[in-house]
Structure 1
Amino acid sequence: MSFGKGSHLHLIDGSAFIFRAYHALPPLTRKSDGLPIGAVAGFCNMLWKYVTDERGSDAPTHAAVIFDHSAKTFRNEIYPAYKANRPELPEDLRPQFPLTRDATRAFNIASIETEGYEADDIIAALSCKARDAGGRVTIVSSDKDLMQLIGNGVTMLDPIKGKDIGPDEVVEKFGVGPDRVIDVQALAGDSVDNVPGAPGIGIKTAAQLINEYGDLETLLERAGEIKQPKRRQTLIDNADQIRISKQLVTLDCDTPLDFTLESLEMQEPVADQLLTFLAEMEFRTLTNRVAERLGAEAPAVVSAPPSEAPAAPAALPIDTASYETVTDMAALEAWIAAIRDTGHVAIDTETTSLDEMQAELAGICLAVAPGKACYVPVGHVEGGDDLFGQTQRVAGQLPMDEVLAALKPVLEDPAILKIGQNLKYDWKILARHGIRMAPVADTMLMSYALNAGTHNHGMDELAERYLGHRTIPIKDLIGSGKSQITFAQVPIDKAAPYAAEDADVTLRLWQHFAPMLPSERVTTVYETLERPMVPVLAGMEMAGIRIDGDVLKRMSNAFAQKLAQLEDEIHALAGEKFNVGSPKQLGEILFDKMGMAGGKTGKTGAYSTSADVLEDLAAEGHDLPARILDWRQVSKLKSTYTDALPTYVNPDTKRVHTSYSIAGAQTGRLASTDPNLQNIPVRSDEGRRIREAFIATPGHKLVSLDYSQIELRILAHVADIPALKQAFRDGIDIHAMTASQMFNVPVEGMDPMIRRRAKAINFGVIYGISGFGLSRNLRIPRAEAQAFIDTYFERFPEIRAYMARTVADAKAEGSVRTLFGRRINTPGINQSGPAAGGARRAAINAPIQGAAADIIRRAMIRMPAAIAHLPATMLLQVHDELVFEVEDGAVDELISVARDVMENAADPAVKLSVPLVVDAGQGMNWAEAH
């Protein structure tokens, strides 16, 4: 059937269907093998409803379900921080994505995705093509980003509310018509997708400005005419950022498509095809319903569980109506007495913000036994809706200072265990009020020690997985988006069940996990590497570090000039001007115009201009891709650091306070966020200069202590390589020694290029580098690089033996362990295909990187006591490096004490056969110290 006038195309937002299905339904696994299928079940039910709905004359003639291909798209090359704040996918949702594609095809509906483009771009391209062909389009989604497409025969349908979305609804949402939605979004930005926009300008103000000036470019050109000084300056200072934001929010109607509209013709489901899929998924009810509707015989659904499958957790009754709200001191004293009787308490704080350094305390939750929990409100307010945002304290609450004074003795009592979920947050909140909890237990870290790499460790997921209980969603209380309120504004009668439930669930999780630690042989890991990190990291985060805003501003200006210079060079090399941040335009320049080696990727026909592609072209001697890489690096440094860091300065402390995730990477490495201070590059001059902006307080120095080649030292120990171990003991240049062993050349007078090659192999082999990867790093032919690696393994056969042994252990156990007992799970190790190679490389590297992470954790845990007598504070951890701030007169002693702690951190737990060596530096800023 040709597509034209009278045709009606339905475009279903597949990703929205998946997430709606996942969050709307309880977890579900396939009984036969434990595969998560809850989202697939919801998705199939939504599709069945869609295909069986009676629409009469409004029925679609053509339809497709559109999916996102991957997280990275061309927008990440325009703005590397795009969608950087998006949380990781839940572990049980990830394997369900390909199954939803299979489900779509089983329903006989076209399933479409395009590498490098978002689903919204495909929807835009199809909408434009269909409209131009004279047909109608209905976009089945409520996503606000798609509203820019509405008009000229394109409408939207909210599939949940069953509500049509047209131009009037767009005006209601954005204050402008569909043709100006992009301009409003560019100004307002989007915190969910990390689109920067103009600071301080929301949807309402953006709409007013666009309606007044007509369009975004006119507004930016005439920004100097705006009367409000702050708004005027915001638009002038952020004009480039706003224009980048417009690129990010603009959907691409030119997204390449490798199919025709005619191929999307609506088809009836094929009974055998659909019923076979549903039976394989073990959807018994839906299989019978579909079979009845299609007049076919329902296939048998076999769902016998495997003999070793763990039993599903029994639903544990949790009655939130039974919790107490404490509003008088007599009641609080009774709870304190119960805490002393039991010797433990689960505690949780409710606050107004996720930023512990600025959050205000709304209340405290306590639990002493399952079902025995309470909420003590101390900071709830009402009002805030008037013109001046005035609030007043809700009557009937105990005074905050009296509550904290009463709780302080038990929370600091070393005989009473304080139990929490992600307790570092609550530790910092209470520390700001003069309470330092000890000792502590953390259910998040217990789960991490037991199950790193198998699932996430948030309380909601743990409650469902291990207690069979779905917790009250926070959005039910505070809402979302522009109408979101703080927890302090939630009425106490609604806040109390939610808050006390947190403490109750945490206590039950502690009771569940505590007996598992010894049986799974991770008690020592939890007690020596996880739990003690809570107060250590909390103290570092609260200390923060100073930055010099003037230095960053000068750097930002210099980076802007550098970008302009690079753009001029790029345009000169290209022979024409083009948008350097556009992968599409760059691909046309490189491959169509200049004829460089490369090609269109996948079925889409789009060129790839990823960093890997550009690095390969640069290695072949092409200047243009090399300059593009330089431009992207400088652009990322400017947007991620020099522009962004000043926005993280705490108004009270005047310092930047990062936050460390203890239970992030499964190898035990810490992750730094808000801001990320661990990814500041040090190998480029520009990256090193950023560290100049991190400065010491007057009268102090910053001191950096950094493990020297710690992962190579651990490799020499675990693989038992005599030559490497002896070299480390003798203090020999390990890279020169390796080069001498490999290439039969003397160490004395060695060509620096030969040493560089040995260094690249030394570090690369830890990560399972291939000949292809080494050739790219060294910019040498692939055959030559592979020959180097082959020679390396001939000279050090112990490394190959270690790799084979580690992979075999991982396949047999499903995990590997570090020298200190940390268990690192290795999902996918027994798979076949391309993914298996990555799983094997991860398994080989995990014991080495994990041991390095364990060693610096051990050093950090011992450090506060070791330097307590010194006027010094530990501020930062950056993988193998610790950064301190210390008074000028105590620098040498701090270096001596801290170095001793770090170099002996492995003992007595592990007697390393090679010495640990720590390099130290000092200076007025981090660059000087490192």
Structure 2
Amino acid sequence: MPNSPHPIAAPVAAKPLAKGDHVFLVDGSSYIFRAYHALPPLNRKSDGLQVNAVLGFCNMLWKLLRDMPPDNRPTHLAIVFDKSEATFRNTIYPQYKAQRPPAPEDLIPQFSLIREAVRAFDLPCLEQSGFEADDLIATYVREACARGASATIVSSDKDLMQLVNDCVTLYDTMKDRRIGVPEVIEKFGVPPDKVVEVQALAGDSVDNVPGVPGIGIKTAAQLINDYGDLETLLARATEIKQPKRREALIANAEQARISRQLVQLDDKVAVDVPLDELAVHEPDARKLIAFLKAMEFTTLTRRVAEYSQINPADVSADAATKSVSVSSPPPLAGEVGSRSDPGGGAATSADLFAGHEPPPQPSPASGGGSAPQTGRSRTLQNGEVFTPQQLAAARAEAARQTPVNRDGYVTLRSRAELDGWIARAFAAGQLAIEAKASSIDPLQAELCGLALALGPNEACYIPLGHRQAGDGDGLFAPQLAPDQIAEREALTALQPLLEAPGVLKIGLAIKFTAVLLAQHGITLTNADDVQLMSYALDAGRQAHGLDALAEIWLGHQTLSFGEVIGSGKNKLSFEQVPIDRATCYAAEDADVALRLWQVLKPRLVAEHMMTVYETLERPLIGVLARMERRGIAIDRQELARLSADFAKTAARLEGEIHALAGEDVNPGSPKQLGDIMFGKMGLSGGKKTKTGAWSTSASILDDLAEQGHEFPKKVLDWRQVSKLRSTYTDALPTYLNPQTGRVHTTYALAATTTGRLSSNEPNLQNIPVRTEDGRKIRRAFIATPGNKLVSADYSQIELRLLAEIADIPVLKQAFLDGLDIHAMTASEMFGVPIKDMPGEVRRRAKAINFGIIYGISAFGLANQLGIPREEAGAYIKKYFERFPGIRDYMESTKEFCRAHGFVETLFGRKCHYPDIKASNPSLRAFNERAAINARLQGTAADIIRRAMVRMEAALAAQKLSAQMLLQVHDELIFEVPEAEVEATLPVVQRVMQDAAFPAVVLSVPLHVDARAASNWDEAH
């Protein structure tokens, strides 16, 4: 392939094998069945021929050849298959492999195509009568080693492990793992040259090797290690102390000897193709593209063409391959049954389905179905074993191979059509659902329609509230568009389906749909959210919206909302969008969500993230939906008073700013402020933005204020009070729901890297609590008459988790003893007795304690405490000297994150920081600090999530009426009947304090402060 950066190996004319050469032998027979069972049924469009095994096999070859590192590239290479006739082993033992089932009918036509594929890659396709592929491999590697070359066997088949030595390794592409002598010893308990002895005793049920009944691998290894070899063991069997074992060995001695003959590979086969003829060269890319085009493997054709810089349009599909029909000849005898490969393991991006896509994960197969719920291999009826990793990889590839066809979507306009889809959904047991509404507020929006999807390109849209654009005048709303099912009739028909616990409902950001349906009296049950699956898997390394995920996993660009509603004066609300256009948009969303579910669900199993999703993400959908619908009451008069006070304060500060500037200046104008401070006043430390204007960011103003400059300090004060007024006191009343009279925030579960929730419309998590003005705003959040607000807050949870995770004995003991942790730290650092400790000393220790969690620098601590940077640096140094385990924790966390790209919470959540190895020092340092904090903040977020999931059931069990209204990071806010406050407080505290158990048993106790009052500020 001209100009390709990494030449792909392929055979050429004989080249004598030389010392130092590298022979690669691929166990092709096992890969046929891996490919077949890993990929769902895929049919060639032109004639319906099933080609999933061919595609998987081609992808495996492409990946293997393309990604071969320069220092490990083969000089000689071949693909080795089993041949048709029975082998010499059947003569020795007629029952050998006799129980293997016939090959699946839809695999049979693919055998010859796979051999064609090998030839299209210009690779030798080796097979020989009377011998298994393993015997040919054994012969070639023996000769390679004898001639001073090394050999790699591309397989994880345990039967080939007997060949491993200093010159031969196995390469398990499924795990991207090399198997050498240590790995063989780990598996069999003996060195490779003793593997056949162990196998002879243990037997093999898959290949029908009898062995000795009652003896497994572990016992066999112990016996061989004790006696040296099989013959010695059998000769001395009467010495065995265990009666059953002794009797079994004596009675089955001949059977053990036969078994040894069956498992011993023949390494002296008179091979038809000499080793020298396996030399590699650059293949004919046009020949390969012609084959791939004939097979209609569009994605792989594109990859090969891009790699070889050939326009695929210039290459005609191979006519002979194109003409292959479903009436292909029967399989060769060696392929009658599946090859079990218990050694097969986790696919990274290394094997059957790899390419230029993202890391392999699951896909929309033919109808989907949930992935296995454990990380174990799965065995099909014909005995083939495959892993969740392989399934995930298969689903991912199939997803990209199935184009989205919007033309196939249908609009349901009658009850009969709807009933038909409902019946099909019940039969399928799962469906994707997407609600479309008139606004982003599900509590006040009108339902425009619902989209359903049952399979790829099998989606519909049910218009319910579309209106005729341009109709209506003044007070009169536009008329409903014709040919829509009445909303109530449709929802009544759908309700049993949507509430059925036995039918899985799939969506992306499905909480919106759940809240919207709840407004119509429907409780959405048994829901899966693909956005949360993506979040559990990839938090911090990619976006989780529908458009982004469709591009990443499906290679598909979805219709954008802007394309559907238009822009400018022609912009429509969604209920005005023509129904045919709405169908394309909404049905595509449901279709893509279903495909993404089929891609991401198996990844949760394959990457061991199912527990994170099922315990920390999925259960919160319903909990948060109910919290959002409840809302919280506010005191509008209190907000009005605060707004007036803030306005007066802002006016006073503005006057002081004018006076200090010596002229009128707009405090809200960065340009004017920059010109005053760095131009007129000549203050140092100014930085210019890309536009050439002076930067007046908060950090720069903070630095100047810390240096004692009054002007930037006044600007900061003005900004704070102005923000409180505009963001809260003036804005909160506009969020009052006219039906409930309460404020309803919306929670996002997939918005942060660490698992913390975010709140928006309005954001109730950023109200300042460390300033008096911020606390005043909390006074406006009130309990309704007859109730109290209860605030339950974890006390110093991240410091407790620091003591736990970093294993700092003195901190752990302090928490166990209930000491004032900041006073204790001050005493440890500064040698000051805890009793009668000056407040300033404790304040400094507190700043250091919390600062350390967030990776504070000497500069930052100096600013916070108002002390010289050198003194702050000395404090931090002394802190680490007194608590050396904390620095060890920080360094080990950074090292782990650099190596893996993520850190883990105690509950297994992965927080990804891919930029931790960035070349930019500032970006790299930021990611290091974030990674250190993420383990603590993320674990704290997981704990409160677990508490929220358990809370409603715990309250109900005690027949308490308390309702959870808000979550603000480490705090939960409830509305509780006054008569139940005393009974509610201990239940809330118990659930929160025990939330980590039993998944994680903490040695440091969690403490929760819970108080009740008439408003949020007093309760906190």
Tell me the TM-score range normalised by the shorter chain: 0.5 to 0.7
Deviation at 1:362, TM superposition (A): 1.4
Change (3 A) 1:909 1:307: closer
Question: Which range moved further: 584-593 or 891-900?
Answer: 584-593
Deviation at 1:509, TM superposition (A): 0.9
Paired residue type of 1:361: L
Question: What residue is the counterpart of 1:122 in the other structure?
Answer: none
The reply on whether 1:897 has 2:987 as its aligned counterpart is yes
Listed as ranges, the matches of 1:223-234 within 5 Å are none
**1:607 and 1:497 mapped to 2: Cα distance?**
48
Question: What residue is the counterpart of 1:337 in the other structure?
Answer: 423
State the TM-score, normalizing by the size of structure 2: 0.60
Deviation at 1:546, TM superposition (A): 1.2
Tell me the alpha carbon deviations over residues 277-298 of structure 1, each in whole angstroms, 9 at most, x when there is no partner: xxxx999999xxxxxxxxxxxx
**1:364 and 1:772 mapped to 2: Cα distance?**
55
Change (3 A) 1:607 1:464: closer
**Partner-residue secondary structure (3-state), 1:514:** helix
Paired residue type of 1:343: G
The reply on whether 1:909 has 2:909 as its aligned counterpart is no
The reply on whether 1:844 has 2:844 as its aligned counterpart is no
Question: What residue is the counterpart of 1:311 in the other structure?
Answer: 356
Tell me the alpha carbon deviations over residues 143-198 of structure 1, each in whole angstroms, 9 at most, x when there is no partner: xxxxxxxxxxxxxxxxxxxxxxxxxxxxxxxxxxxxxxxxxxxxxxxxxxxxxxxx
Question: What residue is the counterpart of 2:87 in the other structure?
Answer: none
Change (3 A) 1:410 1:390: closer
Q: 1:518 aligns with which of 591, 605, 618?
A: 605
Question: What residue is the counterpart of 2:1012 in the other structure?
Answer: 922
Listed as ranges, the matches of 1:212-223 within 5 Å are none
Deviation at 1:692, TM superposition (A): 1.1
Deviation at 1:843, TM superposition (A): 1.2
Amino-acid identity (%)? 57
Change (3 A) 1:554 1:32: farther
Question: What residue is the counterpart of 2:344 in the other structure?
Answer: none
Deviation at 1:875, TM superposition (A): 0.7
Deviation at 1:700, TM superposition (A): 1.0
Question: What residue is the counterpart of 1:249 in the other structure?
Answer: none
- RMSD between aligned residues: 2.3
Listed as ranges, the matches of 1:549-628 within 5 Å are 549-599=636-686, 601=688, 606-628=693-715
**1:412 and 1:556 mapped to 2: Cα distance?**
45
**1:838 and 1:796 mapped to 2: Cα distance?**
23
Could you tell me whether the CA contact under 8 Å between 2:472 and 2:478 is conserved in 1?
no
The reply on whether 1:858 has 2:951 as its aligned counterpart is no
Question: What residue is the counterpart of 1:23 in the other structure?
Answer: none
Paired residue type of 1:888: E
Question: What residue is the counterpart of 1:492 in the other structure?
Answer: 579
**Partner-residue secondary structure (3-state), 2:479:** strand
Could you tell me whether the CA contact under 8 Å between 2:689 and 2:695 is conserved in 1?
no
**1:578 and 1:395 mapped to 2: Cα distance?**
59
Tell me the alpha carbon deviations over residues 61-94 of structure 1, each in whole angstroms, 9 at most, x when there is no partner: xxxxxxxxxxxxxxxxxxxxxxxxxxxxxxxxxx
Change (3 A) 1:584 1:372: closer
Tell me the alpha carbon deviations over residues 15-58 of structure 1, each in whole angstroms, 9 at most, x when there is no partner: xxxxxxxxxxxxxxxx999xxxxxxxxxxxxxxxxxxxxxxxxx
**2:831 and 2:412 mapped to 1: Cα distance?**
77
Tell me the alpha carbon deviations over residues 342-399 of structure 1, each in whole angstroms, 9 at most, x when there is no partner: 1111111121111111111111111222222222222222144453253222222222
Question: What residue is the counterpart of 2:922 in the other structure?
Answer: 834
**Partner-residue secondary structure (3-state), 1:698:** coil
**1:603 and 1:433 mapped to 2: Cα distance?**
51
Question: What residue is the counterpart of 2:257 in the other structure?
Answer: none
Question: What residue is the counterpart of 1:465 in the other structure?
Answer: 552
Question: What residue is the counterpart of 1:230 in the other structure?
Answer: none
Change (3 A) 1:330 1:588: closer
Tell me the alpha carbon deviations over residues 313-349 of structure 1, each in whole angstroms, 9 at most, x when there is no partner: 6342222222222222222222222112111111111
Change (3 A) 1:474 1:32: farther
Tell me the alpha carbon deviations over residues 662-684 of structure 1, each in whole angstroms, 9 at most, x when there is no partner: 00001000111111100000111
Change (3 A) 1:365 1:581: closer
Change (3 A) 1:317 1:575: closer
Tell me the alpha carbon deviations over residues 539-560 of structure 1, each in whole angstroms, 9 at most, x when there is no partner: 1111111112221111111111
The reply on whether 1:369 has 2:455 as its aligned counterpart is yes
Deviation at 1:592, TM superposition (A): 4.2
Question: Which range moved further: 587-596 or 844-853?
Answer: 587-596
Change (3 A) 1:605 1:874: same
Q: 1:760 aligns with which of 834, 847, 859?
A: 847
Deviation at 1:712, TM superposition (A): 0.4
**1:425 and 1:606 mapped to 2: Cα distance?**
42
Could you tell me whether the CA contact under 8 Å between 2:993 and 2:1007 is conserved in 1?
yes
**2:838 and 2:517 mapped to 1: Cα distance?**
58
**Partner-residue secondary structure (3-state), 2:812:** helix
Could you tell me whether the CA contact under 8 Å between 2:906 and 2:939 is conserved in 1?
yes
Change (3 A) 1:285 1:371: closer
Question: What residue is the counterpart of 2:738 in the other structure?
Answer: 651
Could you tell me whether the CA contact under 8 Å between 1:708 and 1:918 is conserved in 2?
yes
Question: What residue is the counterpart of 2:978 in the other structure?
Answer: 888
Deviation at 1:864, TM superposition (A): 1.5
Structure 1 or 2, whichever has the larger Rg, is: 2
Q: 1:381 aligns with which of 467, 470, 473?
A: 467
Deviation at 1:602, TM superposition (A): 6.8
Deviation at 1:886, TM superposition (A): 1.2
The reply on whether 1:397 has 2:487 as its aligned counterpart is no
Q: Extract unaligned runs of 5+ from structure 2.
A: 7-305, 312-348, 358-396
Change (3 A) 1:427 1:816: same
The reply on whether 1:501 has 2:591 as its aligned counterpart is no
Change (3 A) 1:590 1:284: farther
Could you tell me whether the CA contact under 8 Å between 1:443 and 1:509 is conserved in 2?
yes
**2:454 and 2:514 mapped to 1: Cα distance?**
18
The reply on whether 1:717 has 2:804 as its aligned counterpart is yes
Could you tell me whether the CA contact under 8 Å between 1:384 and 1:390 is conserved in 2?
no
Could you tell me whether the CA contact under 8 Å between 1:818 and 1:847 is conserved in 2?
yes
**1:690 and 1:326 mapped to 2: Cα distance?**
49
Could you tell me whether the CA contact under 8 Å between 2:469 and 2:577 is conserved in 1?
no
Question: Which range moved further: 483-492 or 589-598?
Answer: 589-598
Paired residue type of 2:925: G
**2:509 and 2:688 mapped to 1: Cα distance?**
43
Could you tell me whether the CA contact under 8 Å between 2:472 and 2:479 is conserved in 1?
no
Question: What residue is the counterpart of 1:871 in the other structure?
Answer: 961
Deviation at 1:817, TM superposition (A): 0.6
Change (3 A) 1:352 1:599: closer
Could you tell me whether the CA contact under 8 Å between 1:552 and 1:690 is conserved in 2?
yes
Could you tell me whether the CA contact under 8 Å between 1:829 and 1:839 is conserved in 2?
yes
Tell me the alpha carbon deviations over residues 219-276 of structure 1, each in whole angstroms, 9 at most, x when there is no partner: xxxxxxxxxxxxxxxxxxxxxxxxxxxxxxxxxxxxxxxxxxxxxxxxxxxxxxxxxx
Deviation at 1:532, TM superposition (A): 0.7
Question: What residue is the counterpart of 2:498 in the other structure?
Answer: 411
**2:788 and 2:906 mapped to 1: Cα distance?**
35
Deviation at 1:582, TM superposition (A): 2.7
Change (3 A) 1:529 1:567: same
Question: What residue is the counterpart of 2:527 in the other structure?
Answer: 440
Paired residue type of 2:640: K
Deviation at 1:624, TM superposition (A): 2.6
Tell me the alpha carbon deviations over residues 417-476 of structure 1, each in whole angstroms, 9 at most, x when there is no partner: 111111000000111111111111001111111111111111122112111222222323
**2:674 and 2:486 mapped to 1: Cα distance?**
64
**2:5 and 2:1001 mapped to 1: Cα distance?**
46
Deviation at 1:847, TM superposition (A): 0.8
**1:468 and 1:778 mapped to 2: Cα distance?**
52
Could you tell me whether the CA contact under 8 Å between 2:498 and 2:522 is conserved in 1?
yes
**Partner-residue secondary structure (3-state), 2:1010:** strand
The reply on whether 1:544 has 2:637 as its aligned counterpart is no
**Partner-residue secondary structure (3-state), 1:883:** strand
Question: Which range moved further: 363-372 or 550-559?
Answer: 363-372
Q: 1:681 aligns with which of 768, 772, 785?
A: 768
